[in-house]
Structure 1
């Protein structure tokens, strides 16, 4: 399956920064990774599931969530919240295709960029997922 590449929007960043009281300055590059916080995973996940968010906000919040999990000391293989996040990715493939492909990071077991990579790679491979310009 092929999907368009998606990028965080400034409006979604501003909205999420305000909603979660996160820093947001013009000099912050890769905002969604900088503001990730493993101590706030439950708060972010609950908001993703329960709050009325736009697609752009959900896209950016998912990036924050994945970075937060990657930064955490949680045992991902046994973490219920992580399993929930993976289901959200699979159930919202069109929205998160860019995210899945980014975090999947390459094609071989030797190209493991992050500890979340094997999980995202499995989703990408199982769904024959590709993004296009």
Structure 2
């Protein structure tokens, strides 16, 4: 699967709109660097903003999944509720988020003996989403 990258224009817009640190010349994977589990609800709310198109939604989803992964690691009590808000976005915009879902699922890592402790905290949930999407197709 080809890896989609975030457009610089979408990153610039989201960083400005959400008051996030803009990327600099040394930034790689900006969404993962600025994701903040304490702002996850704000990212979800922004995803619902009808002003944003596919490029911005792609950026926002990467922010949300990284923030959610962090929330799981911190055993944030909001996780179940927030995940139930994120899943419909992943399912309804599955084509847009195919590469993101695949990344977090780590399907290819199974062949390398990856165990639960070596995976992302959100891998189990993302695999469930991937199975839902596959069943719908």
What TM-score, normalized by structure 1, do the two folds share? 0.83
Cα separation, 2, equivalents of 1:75 and 1:123? 21
Q: Cα RMSD (Å) of the superposition?
A: 2.2
Cα separation, 1, equivalents of 2:38 and 2:46? 14
* Cα distance, 1:52–1:75 mapped onto 2, change above 3 Å: same
Aligned to 1:9: 7
Aligned to 2:90: 89
1:124: Cα distance to partner?
A: 1.9
Cα separation, 1, equivalents of 2:90 and 2:55? 14
* Cα distance, 1:128–1:4 mapped onto 2, change above 3 Å: farther
Aligned to 2:25: 26
Long gaps (5+) in structure 2: none
Aligned with residue 119 of structure 2, among 113, 121, 126 = 113
Cα separation, 1, equivalents of 2:50 and 2:36? 19
Cα separation, 1, equivalents of 2:50 and 2:42? 11
Structure holding more strand per residue: 1
Cα separation, 1, equivalents of 2:46 and 2:84? 16
Is residue 104–residue 120 contact of structure 1 (8 Å, CA) maintained in 2? yes
Q: Secondary structure at the match of 1:26?
A: coil
Cα separation, 2, equivalents of 1:52 and 1:83? 23
